[in-house]
Structure 1
């Protein structure tokens, strides 16, 4: 016998096993997305109070000493980073689900957001792995290997920027074209993308414009954090309103 939505409970199509309607389910997903976004924001803020990665040009022995002296702090930084990555992946999946519901199965912007977001997370995880290798090797490996790991960790971070730009372009297009979220969040996502484009000038680092590139990168990061926080709050405060809008869109 063919199984259809609602078959298990005898309810109408669109209800789940517990009698939950599609609108209620969407509201629950939005709340989970919001909570994940808030956790991501809080974990990243908490990581600000952990030690920074030492400069890679201070010399192998000094680098090893700096890492060993505050090993616990660097380990805590890694733990907070990996936990924030998990929260961000959940946040990313929830937003993609929301954009896709509003834009439809053939929507390009939701797909761009998902693919670029996956690349963004993957690159961050590579950078985190290099940082972990650097911290673990500080006390056991040949100190001459540490600067190489530190340089790779530093520059792999730049690789996240292009994926981040594409991700925010996808978010901008999905929000502005479907109103899956308030329009001002779409324009804010667009501003993040613009600042990140400026930061790509870091490939020419060392020029007189390096300070401008640094402002673009740091400003883009801060604005992205504001966008993630604002998006989470909106989803947490207005889940039923947006879920109903998504149901009408479909």
Structure 2
């Protein structure tokens, strides 16, 4: 009996370590990716359609960073239900909603960035995939909606179960509001040098960067709870 209990505790601790660590790794790769969008200056004067022409190596490097970040975030999102259910099984459904929305976000965003990277491989001339590849709604409004659902469900579940510290729950609501504000950007064109375009540097790069950094901090909170029992 004692051996069985010890094994269950060890597996739980190991899972929590993976969940928290994955969020941190995802945040590191996501933050490393963001500056690569600004290496080439924005180009309003040349053409809204073409944007700033970028070498394939730059596009594929940031695509790889994005893949690594989203894969790590997928691991974290798949563990959200576990974190909530372990704290209070009555709210496990909210954890499942949050985790499902989070996993959907990682897949949708990865598909969008995969199409951008594939276009760079296929096209002989230099392109700006943030403008020439019409995936704006995938990594824009659709991703904003999914992160809104995640933030609301995760925040509510954390506050009700105390699975993590209260600041995690309240800040999740803030992330949800931020991304809800990004949904209407779909009506404001596709000039990526504008803040609030469907592919704008603010509505996409900045909003997603904030979410990625926040997820990394949540990962630290998960690891601290594992080691100390409190956050």
TM-score class normalised by the smaller sequence: 0.7 to 0.9
1:22-61 equivalence runs, <5 A: 22-51=8-37, 58=47
Structure 2 partner of 1:7: none
Deviates more, 1:221-230 or 1:130-139: 221-230
Q: 1:231 corresponds to which residue?
A: 218
The size of the alignment, in residue pairs, is 220
Q: CA deviation at 1:13?
A: 7.2
Which of these residues, 208, 212, 223, is aligned with residue 221 of structure 1? 208
The 1:14/1:147 distance shift into structure 2, 3 A limit, reads closer
Question: Cα 1:166–1:139, aligned 2, differ >3 Å: closer, same or farther?
Answer: same
Could you say if the C-alpha distance between residues 218 and 98 of structure 1 is closer, same or farther in structure 2, counting changes exceeding 3 Å? Answer: same
CA distance in 2, matches of 1:202, 1:149: 15
Distance in 2 between residues matched to 1:58 and 1:100, nearest whole Å: 51
Query: What's the CA shift string for 1:62-88, capped at 9, x where partnerless?
Result: 66x924xx2111111111111111111
Listed one character per residue, the Cα deviations across residues 48-70 of structure 1 (whole Å, up to 9, x for unaligned) are 2324598798377x66x924xx2
Question: In the TM superposition, what is the alpha-carbon distance from 1:112 to its structure 2 partner?
Answer: 0.9
Q: TM-score, normalized by length of structure 1?
A: 0.74
- C-alpha displacement of 1:225: 2.7
Q: CA RMSD in A?
A: 3.4
- Looking at structure 2, the residues matched to 223 and 140 of structure 1 have their Cα atoms a distance apart, in angstroms, of 33
Contact 1:173 1:186 in 2 (8 A): yes
- Helix, strand or coil at the partner of 1:66: coil
* Change over 3 Å in CA distance of 1:116–1:173 after alignment to 2: same
Equivalent residue in structure 2 for 1:119, among 104, 109, 116 = 104
Which among 81, 88, 100 is matched to residue 96 of structure 1? 81
| Distance (whole Å) between structure 2 residues aligned to residue 28 and residue 116 of structure 1 | 24
**Distance in 2 separating the partners of 1:149 and 1:223:** 22
Residue 164 and residue 190 in structure 1: after superposition, are their counterparts in 2 closer, same or farther (change >3 A)? same
1:92 CA drift (Å) = 1.1
The one of 144, 150, 155 aligned to 2:137:
155
User: Bigger radius of gyration, 1 or 2?
Assistant: 1
Shift of 1:218: 5.9
Change (3 A) 1:212 1:51: closer
Aligned with 2:35: secondary structure? coil
Contact residue 97 and residue 150 of structure 2 kept, 8 A? yes
Structure 1 unaligned residues grouped into runs of 5+: 1-10, 246-250
1:154 CA displacement: 2.4
Q: Per-residue deviation at 1:195?
A: 1.3
Deviation track 1:92-136 (CA, whole Å, cap 9, x = no partner) reads 122221112223177321121122112212211220221122211
Task: Verify the 8 A CA contact 1:130 1:152 in the aligned structure 2.
Answer: no
> Could you tell me how far apart the structure 2 residues matched to 1:156 and 1:55 are?
23
Is the alpha carbon distance of 1:93 and 1:80 closer, same or farther for their aligned partners in structure 2, counting shifts above 3 Å? same
